[in-house]
Structure 1
Amino acid sequence: MNKMRDFCGLVSIIGRPNVGKSTLLNRLIEQKISITSRKSQTTRNNILGIKTKDKHQMVFIDTPGVHINASKVMNKVLNQSALGAIEDADLIIFMLQRNKINTLDELILERLKEVNTKKICVINKVDQVASINSLLPVIEKLRSENNFAEIIPVSAKTGKNINELENMICQNLPENNHLYDSNTKFLAKESFMISEIIREKIIRFLGEELPHETYVQLQKLEDKESIINIDAEIIVARESQKGIVVGKNGSKLKKIGEKARIDLEKFFDKKVFLKTWVKTKKNWNNDSDFISSLGIGSLYD
């Protein structure tokens, strides 16, 4: 009797900022492992998520969005991280949104032509187009000018065509032994997930008031029988930004902490006591050594 073959591969999700890469990963994994917002630079590390479906295991990398003007050290690190994920992949998912291909999409497509790795094109946010027929010219252009194994319109938000995309991914995985247990969905230290949950709330509640110049460092993680005590330091790049994060009489920091605590209690399924404060490290996002020490732009360990 022939042994059933296993299939496993590293799948990189590539695209410009805000096309829905993190939302797609969360939908595919069926669990929130990558933070989302409408602002760019939300994803700073290559998130490793795992989905096992029968004999197929998909190991996903959700990369930071690629930027045209990478002037700051932070943006350069993120670009290097995102483009580096192309080299390591067994399968590349290139994402764009709706029925337009912009300049940055074109630049990424040109970069993808340099690699022989199998590629699937995902056109996201089709729930926002009036008619699927409006996508046909874009699909034809993508098909004629690029070498995609598949092109599929989806909505990561609503789940439209996600099962079909999952099947396409499985069909294009190489034959390999599985790397992880079938129940494993993500690889992360608890400290990383805590920092990301807090950072997501900062991004969401501060809107356009504060650029992506914040980072969260855990100072204490104490897991007791009935409660988890967490101390977290929010780092900003300029002294003037401290007041933005804290808010009048501490109102914004309090709101960030309350919302983060709710998500942390869901994550741990346990009561959480969260203490946060804000500290300035001048121009930390232009300090390459400090950025490297934080692990930004790498797979988290």
Structure 2
Amino acid sequence: LQACREEVDRVLPNGIELTNEHLQDLLVCEAVINETLRLYPPAPFFSRQCVREHTIGTERQLHIPQGAIIVVNSYAFHRRSDMWPRALEFDYTRWMRDPKTGLKPKLPHPYAYLPFAAGPRNCIGQNFALLEAKIMLAMFIQRCNFDLVPGQKIVPDIKITMRPKYGLWTNILYPAKKIYDVFRAQGICGEPFIPLFGQLSELRKQRNNDASMIYHEELVKKHGNVYLLGLGPLTHLVANEPDLLADVFSRNKASNYTKTVEFSGVFVPLIGSHNLLVAEGSEHERARRMINPAFYHVNLKSMVSIITDRTAKAIESIISNE
């Protein structure tokens, strides 16, 4: 926070209003946001469902059966000590750009950092989100002094923004035990297969004890970076290996995967199926092409004044309520 404050005082002295020209100089703020997203990704889990049998990986090949669900535990993935020095420490300097070239530091692997997922179905609004975060962080630091209230308990929790009111009924598209056996035959370890329920009861218990993320970290320690986990009647392959993810999310293999049945089951009744969030195949590609230009950096420049105005009003509201 002190490093951010020193940068903001230098780039935005005497309370001057932030403009688009200032953003490129807020390198510490950018690095702090990136490190925050590494340790606390907004979506600690995301998944894809295989719709076409195929094989992924180079050094370690995995046969992926149709119907298998690939899960990325980005919370644990981003904390791998073999990829990130001092992985559990908050160290914004690992993201600082080269002062001479302005280039970002090289990642340990192109797929080692996935706060917005990856591939053709990554978060379309990530540039806008990062722009908004940088502006808000800089303006709050410029106008306020703040720190954490001591003694409070801060526990990461996994929540879904929207959920079905009366549960979620799904059709089993592929026998879960068969998928489980395919992966076990390839030497993939994991939690035991429990029909219908999987590890849901244990997950609920851990969440009630404020230990959801600790439980998932323990699974990585127990089974490694690739393991099996049962969520209800479906077997999930948790894959925290960048070489495997490079295949899963590559554009030339994108047609092998869709959003999961659970995802569509929640959102289709709410917003329909003809939109970017849940559309598949050519319909998704068409929607993506239409919306993509709105998030180009050149177009986001016009949003800076709007974000700064709304952030200023939010700060005024917070201060007036103190």
Specify the TM-score bucket, using the shorter chain as the normaliser. Answer: under 0.3
* Greater helix proportion: 2
Larger radius of gyration: 2
- Return the TM-score normalized by structure 1: 0.22
Instruction: Identify, as 1 or 2, the structure richer in strand.
Output: 1
The normalised TM-score by structure 2 is 0.21
